[in-house]
Structure 1
């Protein structure tokens, strides 16, 4: 059945599908409720078992081991001495199951008294991972996948689970672009695989594609994350897997008595990243005096330059913050007047005015349990995070639940539902309404400009008719007969009050439901039917209130969107073991439907205060905009696995996908993979090599696709409604492009995994080559076509590298254990085919045989000791005709930035990224530390450029960096800071783009510290508490970088440092408890 035959013009009947889903949901829920009755089954109970559980290696008791009567919910935990007692055991019970983390699980016959010796589990590769459309043992898996378990995630009490991946998984980079509470991070798997399309990995939640914000998921509900990195692991997701896949699996009940878990933590939040180091008041004034004097010298007024600068300085700065006249603050030699006193010293701390000590509260409760036939899990969570910037907040309420029931031996069914409500507040984005960007403002505001209005004669605060302080917007208004100066620096804005009064809220509600049925038949076959529906509503409201001081009449912008997704798949599986052989295969079908509805409009001229609804505004501020996006995929998939004697492994997968993004003749694509593995340690020639526990070689190759190529209708011609005099008409924006098709990622991978010396050392080294073809590029067109360009599949690029990870157990004793883990990823990126001539994009140049993010900049070479001018490598033309050439130490330079040579200047993407962690356990105390590092990349530091360039650009008379104190001042000065000037030569000296503003992006970050204490069972069991852990944690503790103020992980690939216009990451200190009943 071809669901795509009507795409994208017509959808299947949505109401019919909804009815089918509701019926299916009710049926599954009813079956699950019936199955739950198993929890109350009564059994004949007659026997008692007592015993002790010991470590086979040292005969020490194992505290906290789980002892279960197999096939029943009866179970206990061993005490301080490793002892246990089980009562009321059914006479039909035959076996006990004993398990403990890090030890091999054992099954022994039921007896009156037992002694159990558990062996250390060095079989690191035997852990089970959730992979594409199923699970797999790591020992038999031929693809590249990394498993992150809940205990690792719980070390970092984070709001967004992606934050816990920093430095944890080799090959995975997490870029934190925004510290706004509740904000999303960008995740990259093995580099940048596309130029013009998406580089975002596919998120899969409980086996179904997830298209909502990850911040909507409560991290406390997550059981594990699996990152699929190569084609052998991700090819079954076909058209959406080119950038990797992140599988999120939530918790479910486990066998044993019903368990209640409570987690509470409370924390405080401040800013992690130090700001740039800036000069103080007197240096600021002196430097701008010198800046002005040099301009007069440049203009030929050398004899009177000092006096002219002294008399005109505060005409330039607008504000005179001293108690002496303008022309007496600085004399003609640049010396500050000793009698000049600052009039408002307590009112210039802009950073303190917009920042606060934030706080974080997180609470969750869950209940779970299982019998032989039914398991269930339900949870509720609450998170509230107030950021370190006034007005920034994130709140989230979550509920989730699942129940899985084995109705018959051949029938299993289940339901999984999750819902959340979240709200994010904050005024951090410049350009929304009239909201000011507080980060940009406070970073660059000079130390003379006050927060409130002052009398310029005596510095006294001026107040309104109610006696309130008046905030200074720098717009030149009058208060009580006193005229306030016009501030050149971003006049008309004051974030200290705007953050408090303006509104910028984002509300999101999400619900996701999944139902499934599994039927076993003919002994070795299983048919799984899965369906899920997701709905997400989003409302953003941005309001700038009336400020008479800035001439603002008030604006309100509202945006509303609603998203629905439907996913259905049917999977038929077969598995068979015979002799030493194992085979399994799966065939299936999947359909996915996505619909996004969007509406926004803006009004102006507010009537009454504190009413942020459209009737309170008089006039339209912008034309309303609405649209609907629809997107559908259809896929047919298959997988085959074979292993012989758990020693030789082979796997293959194939998926044929159709996407509504492409024209019907280009709609379908084929994606596939093959892989193989070899457990070398099981060969006879290694049987006598005692130090090798596990040695596994694996390799894979495959092709996966990327259909996320921009819009939802990229092949269609698009038009814009426009006005021609009094008549409406259309303007064509894009041309029809029926040849547009998938981007394809060709992945090859080879790895060696090992465990040595009875589990003392374990790790892997992996080589990968990710070749991307059919890359989307905008190709320029002739003006006669009416459009500027057309998108074409015409580029290729590769990401090649090495991943390595190693864990060493330094000590592994009962009283003391200590382990260290580290990982590293080396990445090399190159464009190998370009459909257009090389072109410059910002500070980067796109050209064949170079990295995607390679800097293309003027070559700056320092400062001329004789004149203080900047020196640049000249172009060939300048070498023959320029009057700006100078010769120093037999090298020829130019002092004109217009004659400077552009050349390649290194790459922004770090060559090596990774993490280091250590875990120390002493008795019941545990301590863990996690570090992140990156090496080999460069940043282009725009903020530093601005702070080192007085009197230039839109931020005239901004704050200045302390490095400018090392400027050239007289002939013979040896320095790397040129003379300062805001004359016609200022661009030559400082402002222009050049290699001067490049800086190493190397960094070391202490990502997390966690110190915990687990209470002894014999202390808490009398209170009917089975587990209690107290802990303190610090997240994003500190970073070491080349320069204070930069945050290299914000733009980890492009390396472009913005003008300080973002909410930088937070540092969080938390105390909490984890209690189980």
Structure 2
């Protein structure tokens, strides 16, 4: 029995051409579809995060396990300034423009989206290849700077009819292990100690407060305490089904896949439903091959009407969602003067709230391949794809979000409706020539040429209305008016690109390989003076195992040294940012004419963002040990971002090239098979990657941005970290004022100013670099064992060497609002009496407000809350059984497998913080049946 290798070394698939690994100089990792499914059967990204740590699929601490949240990822570090969603400040629902740090995804030779791969049926995947360095990526030129992920679907079979069915039952179980909130008695103890019931303006209020406290205490002492975190949650039961039918003969082959996936999230009534159909046809006539792949998939997603999970973390445990007769109450707080009006989110879920999104997608890719002479391959490909988006968000007038709207003017505005319509159409065409030739036994050449044309059109319109008299009037036509201060918005973009690419490699005696690529691209995303860009790479490799002095080394299968250098580009930016765009002034006319105003400032000199890359590496296979290692050095130049400019120009920002960023590090992966026989095998794998990120050059324009960030940090009510960009520092740096902790005698925090002196006064001018949020290292570890059909595998991820600003301690402990529920650490961790050694303070200075009066300042950015973060996660556990062929045949099957798996099993962290604040994390248990007829 042979194990499914996680890497395929024989052939590297680039999406444009395939190349034998021995004649390839690039850094690439290839994973088979079967290997992906052995790690996780949920989606491709869940598997990839446990295989190659250089592709960092980041944990979303806010969205948690929300089935509708797409993953964010980057390869070999952050190389671009963070940007706001969409262009012109518009938040685009359709995700037409990707994150500038996200890799390029190629599916069967055509560019695709993260959403498409996220929703893709994993049974269709033959392999996934991650292209990492310039020698591997330069063929994609202007779009390759962030890495390229190439997905190939399974090829068609000849002379065989086969039907494969996979059914899956999933259980999504909420994980609340990161929360530690007070129960009813503990919360009342804190409120009493803080004097909440003594702070009355009149004697009548004081009596009312004491009566309220006594009634709450009596209710709590009776053993009552509402655990609000469990109220909006459930164990989500979902299922998925996939049927694949393959048939064909030598000339004509076909395959059809129909899949349905229904994921019910742990928040009640949230989920994602995907229905897809794919048909693949292939016809061969002599030296000509025709192929067509048509796909249609529809995604229905629902957000929970129970609100965000963070609402429930603030609700007091002595409040009950029901009245004495067991009916849901609309308002929880017993008095407006003490707690304010607090709505019951469970009541909201009984209303006609609607939070739905429908996304219909289609694609059709047609290929013609001709082999006119020996060694020459010509391919013409054309693809069309489209997307239609409909998004609705309706909140009726009796929803708790409007509970504080009490004036006559506000009452008529209760109820809101947001509708978003979007559509996208993409046309891609490319022509490929590839020539391979062996000359005089020792010489081999490979050459490729590619011409690509693409056009991407998308539009999105947003309508916001308000004023709905009844929750039964849930159609936008019943609205009283457009939402206050808004008008319908629309965003239309056309992005075009043309590319010419040439690649050549020469191999001598299967030992020495040199390779070069040149790519010339034009795109509409940049200034009119810089529409065209040149990208290139050179690489070399040495197959040491084919040298005479190593040929006789027993069990040495492969030993290769590689080196490459080159330049790629990044064009994943809004395409209209360099143009002068106008908005019509429809609110009035002048002499019967409608005016227009310039929306954003033109920058015809906006340059391509490029990345210069160096890579050296080696690959070795000795006995049952495989090692792959790379050292990389990447320098990103002409970083594109918006900058603040003089307001007198009429604009606040303009897109420009602002600086350079460096990323460098190591990647090492190891595979070892200590045991292998006809009955089974044991495979152990591990990988680690390091990365150092540094801003090496910045435009003077960033000074204004940093000054704005300093002003934001200085605001009396600001507690959140701010971004600052300084040469010599990482992009994701943490800035705070150094702290020596809480003075035991006064309870005030002691800071260190820029002169090195102790002070009680916080100043934004004293902020220093206190660490970075990007891990210095991350890795994966796992094993897979099989014996006589039984299989067991486990995989984990780890990361460390980074810092984290623990906002949970600020918001939920030190600055905790005592009128709502708080973290249990408030009970003992905060300073209360002189002489007490405490981690947290309650003593903060007062600030005069511009509107008059004063307010206590929030906890400012301080190194006291910067904590070292090391984390280990058990990402997946799998147990499966493959029935023997003889048993399967008795059931008239070719293959039968049963599998039980769990994803996101456990996470162990060096710091305590609340994870999944808007949507909780979940452990996913699923059972799988796979049968082939």
| Length-normalised TM-score, structure 1 | 0.77
Write the distance in 2 (CA, Å) between the matches of 1:713 and 1:123. Answer: 42
Write the distance in 2 (CA, Å) between the matches of 1:689 and 1:490. Answer: 79
Specify the alignment match of 1:68 in structure 2. Answer: none
Bigger mean CA deviation after superposition, 956-965 or 412-421: 956-965
Specify the alignment match of 1:233 in structure 2. Answer: 136
Write the distance in 1 (CA, Å) between the matches of 2:659 and 2:804. Answer: 26
Write the distance in 1 (CA, Å) between the matches of 2:687 and 2:371. Answer: 42
Q: Give the C-alpha shift of residue 139 in structure 1.
A: 2.9
Specify the alignment match of 1:888 in structure 2. Answer: none
Specify the alignment match of 2:617 in structure 1. Answer: 751
Q: Give the C-alpha shift of residue 383 in structure 1.
A: 0.3
Write the distance in 1 (CA, Å) between the matches of 2:332 and 2:102. Answer: 41
Match runs of 1:316-355 below 5 Å: 325-326=211-212, 340-342=218-220, 348-355=226-233
Specify the alignment match of 1:200 in structure 2. Answer: 102
* TM-superposition CA deviations, 1:467-525 (whole Å, max 9, x none): x4323255xxxxxxxxx422766845432232453211110111111111111213332
Write the distance in 1 (CA, Å) between the matches of 2:349 and 2:581. Answer: 39
Instruction: Please tell me whether residue 387 in structure 1 is matched to residue 265 in structure 2.
Output: yes
Specify the alignment match of 2:300 in structure 1. Answer: 423
Within the candidate set 428, 432, 451, 1:589 is matched to 451
Write the distance in 1 (CA, Å) between the matches of 2:232 and 2:34. Answer: 37
Q: Give the C-alpha shift of residue 815 in structure 1.
A: 3.0
**Alignment check: 8 A CA contact 1:124 1:755 kept:** no
**Alignment check: 8 A CA contact 1:125 1:139 kept:** no
Within the candidate set 591, 599, 607, 1:741 is matched to 607
Write the distance in 2 (CA, Å) between the matches of 1:289 and 1:982. Answer: 23
Specify the alignment match of 1:441 in structure 2. Answer: 311
Instruction: Please tell me whether residue 642 in structure 1 is matched to residue 496 in structure 2.
Output: no
Within the candidate set 560, 564, 573, 2:421 is matched to 560
Cα distance change, pair 350–126 in 1 and its aligned pair in 2 (3 A): closer
Specify the alignment match of 1:116 in structure 2. Answer: none
Instruction: Please tell me whether residue 269 in structure 1 is matched to residue 172 in structure 2.
Output: yes
**Alignment check: 8 A CA contact 2:348 2:399 kept:** no
Compare CA radii of gyration and give the structure with the larger one: 1
Instruction: Please tell me whether residue 127 in structure 1 is matched to residue 4 in structure 2.
Output: no
Write the distance in 1 (CA, Å) between the matches of 2:354 and 2:518. Answer: 50
Bigger mean CA deviation after superposition, 122-131 or 904-913: 122-131
Q: Give the C-alpha shift of residue 872 in structure 1.
A: 1.6
Q: Give the C-alpha shift of residue 783 in structure 1.
A: 3.1
Q: Give the C-alpha shift of residue 698 in structure 1.
A: 0.7
Write the distance in 2 (CA, Å) between the matches of 1:1041 and 1:375. Answer: 52
Cα distance change, pair 756–489 in 1 and its aligned pair in 2 (3 A): farther
Give the SS at the match of 1:593.
strand
Write the distance in 1 (CA, Å) between the matches of 2:498 and 2:340. Answer: 52
Within the candidate set 867, 870, 892, 1:1002 is matched to 870
Cα distance change, pair 907–490 in 1 and its aligned pair in 2 (3 A): farther
Instruction: Please tell me whether residue 451 in structure 1 is matched to residue 321 in structure 2.
Output: yes
Instruction: Please tell me whether residue 959 in structure 1 is matched to residue 825 in structure 2.
Output: no
Write the distance in 1 (CA, Å) between the matches of 2:470 and 2:820. Answer: 37
* TM-superposition CA deviations, 1:216-242 (whole Å, max 9, x none): 322222221111111111111111111
Cα distance change, pair 977–606 in 1 and its aligned pair in 2 (3 A): closer
Q: Give the C-alpha shift of residue 581 in structure 1.
A: 1.6
* TM-superposition CA deviations, 1:557-607 (whole Å, max 9, x none): 110101010000111222211222211211121100100021121222335
Within the candidate set 986, 994, 1013, 2:881 is matched to 1013
Cα distance change, pair 490–918 in 1 and its aligned pair in 2 (3 A): farther
Within the candidate set 172, 195, 209, 2:111 is matched to 209
Instruction: Please tell me whether residue 249 in structure 1 is matched to residue 115 in structure 2.
Output: no
**Alignment check: 8 A CA contact 1:222 1:251 kept:** yes
Write the distance in 1 (CA, Å) between the matches of 2:488 and 2:630. Answer: 52
Unaligned runs of 5+ in 1: 1-61, 63-99, 103-121, 294-306, 330-336, 429-435, 455-459, 475-483, 880-891, 1048-1059
Write the distance in 2 (CA, Å) between the matches of 1:313 and 1:203. Answer: 68
Within the candidate set 965, 971, 985, 2:834 is matched to 971
Give the SS at the match of 1:845.
coil
Write the distance in 2 (CA, Å) between the matches of 1:619 and 1:286. Answer: 47
* TM-superposition CA deviations, 1:185-221 (whole Å, max 9, x none): 0121111111156111111110011146233322222
Instruction: Please tell me whether residue 1032 in structure 1 is matched to residue 900 in structure 2.
Output: yes
**Alignment check: 8 A CA contact 2:748 2:844 kept:** no
Q: Give the C-alpha shift of residue 687 in structure 1.
A: 2.7
Specify the alignment match of 2:69 in structure 1. Answer: 183
Cα distance change, pair 627–659 in 1 and its aligned pair in 2 (3 A): same
Give the SS at the match of 2:418.
strand
Write the distance in 2 (CA, Å) between the matches of 1:184 and 1:1028. Answer: 32
Give the SS at the match of 2:691.
strand
Specify the alignment match of 2:773 in structure 1. Answer: 908
Write the distance in 1 (CA, Å) between the matches of 2:101 and 2:238. Answer: 32
**Alignment check: 8 A CA contact 1:769 1:800 kept:** yes
Q: Give the C-alpha shift of residue 269 in structure 1.
A: 0.4
Instruction: Please tell me whether residue 162 in structure 1 is matched to residue 45 in structure 2.
Output: yes
Write the distance in 2 (CA, Å) between the matches of 1:175 and 1:984. Answer: 39
**Alignment check: 8 A CA contact 1:292 1:313 kept:** no
Instruction: Please tell me whether residue 472 in structure 1 is matched to residue 337 in structure 2.
Output: no
Specify the alignment match of 2:718 in structure 1. Answer: none
What is the root-mean-square deviation in Å for CA atoms of aligned residues? 3.0
Specify the alignment match of 1:10 in structure 2. Answer: none
Specify the alignment match of 2:356 in structure 1. Answer: 505
Match runs of 1:328-727 below 5 Å: 340-342=218-220, 348-408=226-286, 410-427=287-304, 437-452=307-322, 454=323, 460-461=324-325, 468-472=327-331, 474=333, 484-486=334-336, 491=341, 493-501=343-351, 502-547=353-398, 550=403, 553-578=414-439, 579-606=441-468, 609-610=471-472, 612-621=474-483, 622-709=486-573, 711-722=574-585
**Alignment check: 8 A CA contact 1:561 1:596 kept:** yes
Instruction: Please tell me whether residue 145 in structure 1 is matched to residue 23 in structure 2.
Output: no
Instruction: Please tell me whether residue 1069 in structure 1 is matched to residue 925 in structure 2.
Output: yes
Cα distance change, pair 156–688 in 1 and its aligned pair in 2 (3 A): closer
Specify the alignment match of 2:753 in structure 1. Answer: 874
Specify the alignment match of 1:813 in structure 2. Answer: 677
Give the SS at the match of 1:471.
coil
Write the distance in 2 (CA, Å) between the matches of 1:700 and 1:637. Answer: 18
Within the candidate set 165, 176, 187, 1:284 is matched to 187
Give the SS at the match of 2:477.
helix
**Alignment check: 8 A CA contact 1:555 1:604 kept:** yes
Write the distance in 1 (CA, Å) between the matches of 2:722 and 2:619. Answer: 41
Q: Give the C-alpha shift of residue 168 in structure 1.
A: 1.0
Q: Give the C-alpha shift of residue 255 in structure 1.
A: 4.1
* TM-superposition CA deviations, 1:426-475 (whole Å, max 9, x none): 048xxxxxxx85222112233233324x4xxxxx35x8xxxx4323255x
**Alignment check: 8 A CA contact 2:8 2:31 kept:** no
Cα distance change, pair 900–276 in 1 and its aligned pair in 2 (3 A): farther
Aligned residues, how many? 876
Cα distance change, pair 998–239 in 1 and its aligned pair in 2 (3 A): same
Instruction: Please tell me whether residue 790 in structure 1 is matched to residue 667 in structure 2.
Output: no
Cα distance change, pair 450–895 in 1 and its aligned pair in 2 (3 A): farther
Q: Give the C-alpha shift of residue 1073 in structure 1.
A: 1.0
**Alignment check: 8 A CA contact 1:756 1:762 kept:** yes
Give the SS at the match of 2:635.
strand
Cα distance change, pair 490–130 in 1 and its aligned pair in 2 (3 A): farther
Write the distance in 2 (CA, Å) between the matches of 1:241 and 1:554. Answer: 46
Specify the alignment match of 2:90 in structure 1. Answer: none
